[in-house]
């Protein structure tokens, strides 16, 4: 007798008492009516403080095929890791509670894992054939972030953060203990770890509708993702490639931070905040990642050189911003970002020349241990 494959779908939630029951019942009804494999649904309650726990426990007691577990600490990655490590299903998956992804994509997601063709499967809003309805701002941030992953980490997948993924159970249990991040960067780190191990990652174009009530805070999430990217890119190729990578990454990071800040502040303030953050990060990255400088010796002078580059970038981006406001007074934020990013890219090229000459001259007179 051939045993039917099992799939466990984890739904991570935080303070979702309003939508939890409706979404779980809809998902369970779909699985019972149209999904050909034995599937269970697990509500992974990520330290909710509203009525989510009571609703989740009631659903687990009254709806067949639904389970509930509570994780006492915050972090979507923490909830997923806890649920997946406990699971003994052949395939573990997750989807966001808003069910933004059309459920008809579930079978194409898990089928390559059940057949043994692939090890990891991800929904992609950026692949050919995907149909996506979301605001231009989130679309631009998503594309910038995934371009950043391709440039800095060599990612070969198109969409790292779509809330619709599946992994073979044995693969998940092997990889998860090595994933350090337990927040929003969890998805990206898991995928990069799988890619670096040579595992097969299958992408499924999805129909996806943006949730207007999303709880994701753009600026903290963007900063967390940038820290995660930096951690993963620590071991890199030649100095020239590393130097260029840092420059391109800081330019893209500038655009992401500016977009996130623009809803909260005036253009000049968003520009300064984005430039300060990326100037400091760029200097730190070049010191450690590009030139291998450790310790505090010379740090003050290095950061002073970095701030000189910051002033160049500030002058260029301020001029670009004024030009946009003069020529196109009603320009949307995306036009602002395009003009400012172009100016910042030119400033970054100037930073290459300045910083490389400064560091090469300084390293010639530093002690051999670089301390």
* Strands lying side by side in the sheet with 6-13: 66-71, 38-46, 6-13, 91-95, 164-168, 120-124, 201-205
| 32 is annotated as an active-site residue | no
Count H helices, E strands: the chain? 12, 9
Q: Which residues 6+ apart lie within 8 Å of 307 measured at CB?
A: 279
Six-digit token string for 234: 């620590």
Report how far apart the first and last C-alpha atoms of the chain are (Å, whole number).
Answer: 66
Cα→Cα distances 320→276, 316, 336, 349, Å: 17, 6, 8, 16
Task: Provide φ and ψ at 46, rounded to 5°.
Answer: -90, 65
Rg (CA), the chain: 23
Catalytic residue among 119, 187, 225, 302: 187
Task: Provide φ and ψ at 203, rounded to 5°.
Answer: -110, 135
Q: Which residues are catalytic?
A: 187
């Amino acid at each position: 007798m051939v045993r039917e494959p099992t799939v466990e779908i984890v739904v991570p939630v935080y303070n979702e008492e309003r939508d939890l029951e409706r979404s779980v019942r809809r998902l369970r009804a779909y699985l019972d009516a149209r999904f050909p494999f034995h599937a269970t649904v697990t509500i992974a309650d990520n330290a909710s403080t509203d009525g989510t726990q009571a609703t989740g426990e009631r659903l687990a007691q009254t709806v067949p095929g639904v389970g509930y577990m509570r994780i006492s600490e915050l972090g979507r990655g923490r909830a997923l890791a806890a649920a997946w490590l406990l699971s003994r299903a052949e395939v573990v998956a997750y989807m966001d509670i808003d069910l933004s992804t059309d459920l008809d994509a579930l079978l194409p997601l898990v089928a390559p894992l059940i057949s043994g063709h692939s090890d990891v499967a991800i929904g992609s809003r950026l692949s050919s054939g995907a149909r996506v309805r979301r605001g231009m701002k989130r679309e631009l941030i998503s594309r910038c972030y995934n371009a950043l992953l391709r440039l800095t980490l060599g990612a070969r997948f198109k969409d790292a953060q779509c809330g619709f993924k599946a992994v073979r159970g044995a693969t998940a249990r092997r990889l998860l203990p090595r994933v350090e991040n337990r927040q929003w960067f969890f998805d990206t780190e898991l995928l990069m770890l799988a890619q670096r191990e040579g595992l097969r990652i299958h992408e499924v174009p999805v129909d996806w509708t943006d949730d207007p009530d999303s709880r994701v805070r753009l600026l903290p999430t963007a900063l967390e993702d940038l820290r995660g990217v930096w951690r993963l890119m620590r071991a890199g190729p030649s100095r020239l490639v590393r130097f260029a990578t840092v420059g391109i990454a800081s330019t893209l990071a500038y655009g992401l931070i500016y977009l996130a800040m623009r809803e909260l502040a005036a253009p000049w303030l968003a520009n300064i905040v984005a430039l300060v953050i990326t100037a400091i990060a760029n200097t730190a990255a070049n010191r450690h990642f590009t030139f291998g400088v450790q310790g505090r010796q010379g740090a003050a002078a290095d950061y002073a050189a970095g701030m000189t580059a910051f002033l160049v970038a500030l002058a260029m981006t301020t001029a670009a911003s004024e030009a946009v406001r003069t020529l196109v007074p009603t320009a949307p934020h995306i036009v602002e970002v395009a003009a400012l990013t172009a100016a910042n890219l030119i400033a970054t090229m100037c930073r290459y020349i300045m910083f490389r000459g400064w560091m090469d001259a300084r390293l010639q007179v530093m002690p051999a241990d670089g301390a």
